[in-house]
Amino acid sequence: MLQYLIIMLDDTSASFCHYDNKRTERKLIPLNILHEGIRFAMLENLMIQFVYPSYELPTEYKKEIETIDHSKIKPFDISIDDADVVVTDKWDFSFLDKLEEGVPVVLRTNKEQLFKNYADLYPLLEKRERLNIVLTDLESFTEEDFNTYKTVLEAIAVQLEKFYTDGKSPQLNILTDRMMLAQMNNCGAGESSITLTPNGKFYICPAFYFENEKDDVGDLQQGHCVKNQQLYKINHAPICRHCDAWQCKRCIWLNRKTTLEVNSPSHEQCVVAHLERNASKTLLENIRKHGTFLPDKEAIKDIDYLDPFDKRDEW
């Protein structure tokens, strides 16, 4: 069931996920489409997430946006004093001085940058309550990259353990989310969320729009229709429904891009998710050595695989 409407305010709106937005020509959503999109959300009882471009919107747009409860996803290089989520693709965190406490930060980065600069995250984790890391080239991981990522996760986990024993509790999606979750917490595109773009059409998520504008699932006049919508649900994912890497975003766009099936992740996506899962397991165990932590949360069990596809015959 739909719960969220993502509204892209411009063709140059910031990416907050795996996809890249390489468009540089501004195309602001027409004010009437913005108005109708808000009306649609009201009628469907959907929470709106507005995704901003890297320039200030006209006053009439700001007024229209404030007519409904919403969340603002903003790039770091505009006014972020009212942001609910801030997105950056740079390893320069000087903007944090302007950001209120409690506002999550999304860092979009490739594997090379993360492997080289991960220690630069430590001061950020000490200052922020929530940091999400999004790997923009996840589908290109090799066996060597898997080994490096495992080492990086272990190093960051050691630092997180120190923070937790010092009474701090920063959240880092790739390590702490799995400790807290009791079920899958995937992106929800096509099932719990849908995207409205400046052309007045609906898409599964922004990535589908930027990849092919003809790949829409309806518009404001005719309504939306996601074909075979059951395939976007976890109970119709033959591998994922048995998996307990609950922090995996199970990116629908990456699924289709790499396996041609929206409900089947690639080998790379699965292995990365399980490396994170296993590092979370160790982190949880190590934190508990210092005292009671998440007492109602069961230990994360041992597994003997990194890709659940290898266990398909048992399931």
Q: Would you state the pLDDT for residue 141?
A: 98
Q: Would you state the pLDDT for residue 101?
A: 86
- Cα angle at 204 between 102 and 54, to 5 degrees? 50
What one-letter code names the amino acid at 182? Answer: A
Q: Would you state the pLDDT for residue 297?
A: 87
Distances (CA, A) of 17 to 21, 89, 109, 284: 10, 11, 10, 27
* CB-based contact 111:85 (threshold 8 Å): no
Q: Would you state the pLDDT for residue 296?
A: 85
| H runs (alpha helix) in the chain | 31-44, 59-65, 111-117, 121-127, 143-165, 173-180, 206-211, 252-259, 267-288
Among 108, 99, 162, residue whose Cα is nearest residue 134: 108
Buried b (16+ CB within 10 A) or exposed e, 303-315: eeebbbbeeeeee
pTM: 0.95
Mean pLDDT by 10 residues, the chain (315 residues): 96 97 97 98 97 97 97 96 96 90 95 98 92 97 98 98 94 97 93 97 98 96 92 91 94 95 95 98 95 89 93 78
- The helix/strand/coil state of 299 is coil
